[in-house]
A and B are shown apart, each in its own frame.
Chain A
Amino acid sequence: GDSVTQMEGPVTLSEEAFLTINCTYTATGYPSLFWYVQYPGEGLQLLLKATKADDKGSNKGFEATYRKETTSFHLEKGSVQVSDSAVYFCALSGVGDKIIFGKGTRLHILP
């Protein structure tokens, strides 16, 4: 069945460092791809999305490109801030309006 695999955390970086969180997927058909973020004490919220191959989603300085040839949707940010500390979930749209989530990657940014 459809699935998402993302790098395990925690990931610890210093402020202003470059961030990459790897995500690959397995899916039949052409799913939409998402990155959700969960800040401490909150529910998940959509960070960015891409609906077809070669689309680039972007928001708050984060970017991810839908790569069909490598079945990947890696999350990147050029210069992270302490406020980016959170758990990040890669996800894809499944059958019947369901979303299939990866296990999440916890990110710690040190000042």
Chain B
Amino acid sequence: DVKVTQSSRYLVKRTGEKVFLECVQDMDHENMFWYRQDPGLGLRLIYFSYDVKMKEKGDIPEGYSVSREKKERFSLILESASTNQTSMYLCASSYPSAGSSYNEQFFGPGTRLTVL
């Protein structure tokens, strides 16, 4: 059974703290993604990675960074958490399309982060 796991389901942090969200997948996928989900805004892509040590900015990278030291692990870092980063964070992974038109993403259960 394919699996994407996230380190915490719920997290409460203080403004200014450094926050690490971890994501691990066991499917040997090259691609990994971080999204945030907010009511009325749907999913917005923060960062993604096609391979170890690689990272690409998504649509809303400001205030975030990422790390991918191993293929199975993709970390999202909030350098100095702010209240407007209170959200649901979803991690996903996929195989590269390599010319095919089908590239299903597999999602973790999400981390609901509250910044006070």
Contacts and interface: CB of A to CB of B under 8 A. Distances in A.
Interface of A: 30-32, 34, 41-46, 49, 51-52, 89, 93, 96-99, 101-104
A99 B40 contact: no
Interface in B90-114: 90, 92, 94, 96-97, 101-110
A43 B101 contact: no
Contacts, number: 58
Categorize the interface residue count of chain B: 20 to 34
A44 B90 CA distance: 9
B61 to A, nearest CB: 14
Contacts of A43: 4, 90, 92, 107-110
Nearest to A99: B105
B64 interface: no
12 contacts: A32-B102, A34-B104, A46-B105, A93-B97, A93-B101, A93-B103, A97-B96, A98-B33, A98-B58, A99-B103, A101-B42, A103-B41
